[in-house]
Amino acid sequence: MFEGYQILPGAQMRDYTTLKLGGPADWLALPASREEIAGLMREARSREIPVTILGHGSNVLVLDGGIRGLVIRMGRGMNRVEVRGREIIAQTGAMMGTVASAAAEHGLTGLEFASGIPGTVGGGVLMNAGAYGGEMAQVVSSVAGVTPDGGFLTLEGDALGFGYRRSAMQENGLVISEVRFRLEEGDPRVIRETMADLNRRRAESQPLDVPSAGSTFKRPEGAYAAALIDQCGLKGYAIGGARVSPKHAGFLVNTGERARDFLDLMRAVQRIVEERTGIRLEPEIRILGEDEA
Ligand SMILES: Cc1cc2nc3c(=O)[nH]c(=O)nc-3n(C[C@H](O)[C@H](O)[C@H](O)COP(=O)(O)OP(=O)(O)OC[C@H]3O[C@@H](n4cnc5c(N)ncnc54)[C@H](O)[C@@H]3O)c2cc1C
């Protein structure tokens, strides 16, 4: 099965997610080109094997039973970054921090917001990741990828369907292989200072030394998830090894080994916040895989 590709059978997903949770995937593939992604997708499709795409695993909760089928992880084999004038062309597995640094080095402004987001550009585009007033939608000019049936497609403009933590790729199933950014010229010193300032603010307010997947819930209309959770007295609230960060109530963190605890904590926080404020928090993180058998 999947001969000729770099495959790790039974890889523990806790080793591939920032939450450090999740059981084994049947097969974990580490592709090195879009042709390999397409080949893997076609083989999986012909054998009716489900496919899950993963970047750096910084916005996912993988459940304890792991993931059935094939997980295609975009990482080191697909992380080239090229700067051409005001354009940056990044392969999907490049980390956003690396691309933001390349932009700064070439005096290009627009990606400062992304320098502290610990994910790949593919994951960032899929989620329309954003911070401090910036988001991917403002700087991405086109996205190339592999369609569910193994063909190649490039999307740009309105076809990218960006909204708050949303993109068309969440619906059309395009597996992102390359992202083009269009940036503006700026002063490299100012760009670096802005990045350092944002990263300082992040380190001051977020629990960066404990496993998490960032903000667990989306920002509800007219409110902030962290403020609502705090208002309900839930800072520090824990179920097993999962806990509401005492530093930032929007971050649920993991200090244990069970995804089940994390899921139970998410549900408890949703229930308590809804009972006390009438507002339903929706998860921002994506839940993958299956509960333990
Ligand atoms: C400490 C911390 C701070 C964070 N701060 C922020 C923040 O400020 N702003 C913010 O928006 N997010 C933040 N996040 C969340 C996360 O880093 C972002 O959502 C990031 O963009 C996810 O990228 P990833 O590569 O880790 O994606 P993953 O978590 O691996 O995947 C996320 C989703 O994208 C899909 N996906 C990944 N790669 C591809 C691809 N190539 N093609 C198609 N689908 C793909 C996956 O199937 C999954 O559904 C934070 C996370 C942590 C841990």
Q: Is the CB of 214 under 6 A from ligand 1?
A: yes
Q: Quick: pLDDT tens for 67-79.
A: 999 999 999 999 9
> What spacing in Å lies between the alpha carbon of 128 and ligand 1's midpoint?
9
Q: Reduce the secondary structure of 191-260 to three states and give it as a string.
A: HHHHHHHHHHHHHHHCCCCCCEEEECECCCCCCCHHHHHHHCCCCCCEECCEEECCCCCCEEEECCCCHH
Question: Kind and range of the H or E element at 143?
Answer: strand 140-146
If pLDDT is split at 50, 70 and 90, which confidence band does 1 have? confident
112 catalytic residue (yes or no): no
| Mutate which of 15, 61, 126 for ligand 1 pocket (most atoms within 8 A of beta carbon) | 126
**Percent above pLDDT 70 for the chain:** 100
Q: Which pLDDT score, from 0 to 100, does residue 258 have?
A: 97
Q: Look at the domain 7-76 and name its fold.
A: 3.30.43
Domain made up of 207-288: CATH architecture:
Alpha-Beta Complex (3.90)
Q: Is the CB of 137 under 6 A from ligand 1?
A: no
* Annotated active-site residue in 115, 177, 215, 245: 215
Nearest-CA residue for atom 51 of ligand 1: 214
Residue 70 pairs with which residues in a beta bridge? 27, 51
Q: What is the location of CATH 3.30.465.10 in the chain?
A: 78-203
Residue from 168, 166, 170, 175 nearest 146 by CA: 175
Please compute the mean of the pLDDT values over residues 146-163 and round it to a whole number. 95
Q: Is the CB of 58 under 6 A from ligand 1?
A: yes
Q: Is the pTM of this model over 0.75?
A: yes
Q: Quick: pLDDT tens for 188-220.
A: 999 999 999 999 999 999 999 999 999 999 999
282 catalytic residue (yes or no): no
Please compute the mean of the pLDDT values over residues 231-237 and round it to a whole number. 97
If pLDDT is split at 50, 70 and 90, which confidence band does 181 have? very high
Q: Kindly list the strands in the beta sheet with 87-91, ordered across the sheet, starting from the edge strand earlier in the chain.
A: 81-84, 87-91, 175-182, 140-146, 152-156
How many Å apart are CA 50 and CA 69, to the nearest integer?
Answer: 5
Q: Look at the domain 78-203 and name its fold.
A: 3.30.465
284 catalytic residue (yes or no): yes
